[in-house]
Amino acid sequence: SVPLSFFGGIGAASKNGILVKGSSYLQDLAEVKTMVFDKTGTLTHGTFEVTNIISENPAVNTDQLLNLCAKAESFSSHPIALSILNAAKKAGLTDPKAGVENVEEIAGKGLKATVDGKVVACGNEKLMSLLNIGHDVLPAGSGFGTNVYIAVDGIFAGMIEVADEPKEDAKVVFDLLRKEGVERFIMLTGDSETVARAVASKAGIDEVHAKLLPEQKVDELEKILESSKNGKTAYIGDGINDAPVLTRADIGIAMGGLGSDAAIEAADIVLMDDQLSGLYKADQISKKTLSIAY
Ligand code: ADP
Ligand code: MG
C-alpha cells in the first residue's frame, strides 16, 4: 500500500508546478544518481533567433534564402523552424504556407519541400549528405550557433545560422543536485559538437554526446543505464522526438511548457514551467516525503 504522505508529496509537487504521475516516481527520484539531458528546450530556452544568413549561390540572395526556407519550415513545429519563420515574417513574409507542397520532415536532420515549384531542403550536414548535395566546404558561420544549410533544386545555396541561449540557472541547480547525491550529468543532442560543448560548459556538464539521431539517443541511454546501475537514471527532455528516450529511462521528466504532447504523455514527471530549478524542488519534496513515510 502507498503511505499517506505520498499523496501529500504529490500535492506539494503540484503546488510547485510539478506534475507527478504516480507515488513510486517520488521514491525513484530520491535514488537518482545520473541525470541525462536533451539540449534544446531543456538546457537552453528553446527559442532560437536568426543571427546570420550567408548566400553561396548568386541565383539565391539572402532574402530569398530566408523566404524559401521559412515557407518550407512553416509546416514544422521544431524550435529552429519557428525561429526562421518568425524572422521571415518580421522581414515581411505573409501567407508562408502558400505555394508549398510535398513537405517531408526528416527527424534529426531537417526537412524538404517544394516551394513555388523549387525543391528546397533545409537542415544539417546529415541532410545535405542524405540528399547528395554537392558542396566543397560548408560555411562555418560564427561557430556559436546552429547552422541550417539550404539547397535549392539540388544545388547548395547557403545557410541560416540560428542561436539559442542556455538557461541561466543550470549550473547553480546542478551544483545543488550534486550535493544531494547526483553524480553524473550527461547531455544527448542532435546538434553539432561545437554548439553542444558550448552549452555544456556553461551548464557545468562534462559528458556530451552530440550529432545523435533520435534513435541513437535511445542506444546511448541504454549504455548509460548499463553503466550506472548503482542508482536510478533520469532523462529530462523537452520532447520533440524525445518520447522513446523518456519512456526508456528509470524516470522520464518532460518540460511541460514548450514540450510536445507526446513527451508530456510519455513522461513520469512534468515540469510545467520548464524551469530546471523544478528538478531540485522535486528532489527535496521526494526526500521530505520519504522521511515522513518511513
Ligand atoms: P535536439 O537534440 O537539439 O533536440 P533534434 O533531434 O530535434 O535535436 O534535431 C537535431 C538537428 O537536426 C538540429 O540541431 C538541426 O540541425 C536539425 N534539424 C531538425 N529539425 C530541423 C528543422 N525542422 N529545420 C532545420 N534543421 C532541423
Ligand atoms: Mg529536441
User: Is residue 6 pLDDT above 70, yes or no?
Assistant: no
The CA 190 to ligand 1 mean position distance, Å, reads 6
Q: Which residue, among 273, 252, 278, 275, has the nearest Cα to 32 in the 3D structure?
A: 252
Is the CB of 147 inside a 6 Å radius of any atom of ligand 1? no
Mutate which of 191, 213, 241 for ligand 1? The one with the most ligand atoms within 8 Å of its CB, which is 191
% of the chain exceeding 90 in pLDDT: 74
User: What is the pLDDT at residue 77?
Assistant: 87
Q: Which amino acid is at 42?
A: T
Is the CB of 233 inside a 6 Å radius of any atom of ligand 1? no
User: What is the pLDDT at residue 153?
Assistant: 96
| 38 catalytic residue (yes or no) | yes
The CA 223 to ligand 1 mean position distance, Å, reads 23
Is the pTM above the cut of 0.80? Answer: yes
User: What is the pLDDT at residue 293?
Assistant: 65
pLDDT tens digits, 84-100? 999 999 999 999 999 99
Question: How much is the mean pLDDT over the chain?
Answer: 92
Cβ atoms of 106 and 73 closer than 8 Å? no
DSSP string, 208-268: EE-S--HHHHHHHHHHHHHH-TTSEEEEEE--TTTHHHHHHSSEEEEETTTS-HHHHHH-S
C-alpha cell at 99: 505555394
The CA 214 to ligand 1 mean position distance, Å, reads 10
Q: What is the largest CA-CA distance in the chain?
A: 71
Q: What domains can you pick out in the chain, each with its CATH number? A: 4-45+166-293 (3.40.50.1000), 49-163 (3.40.1110.10)
User: What is the pLDDT at residue 212?
Assistant: 95
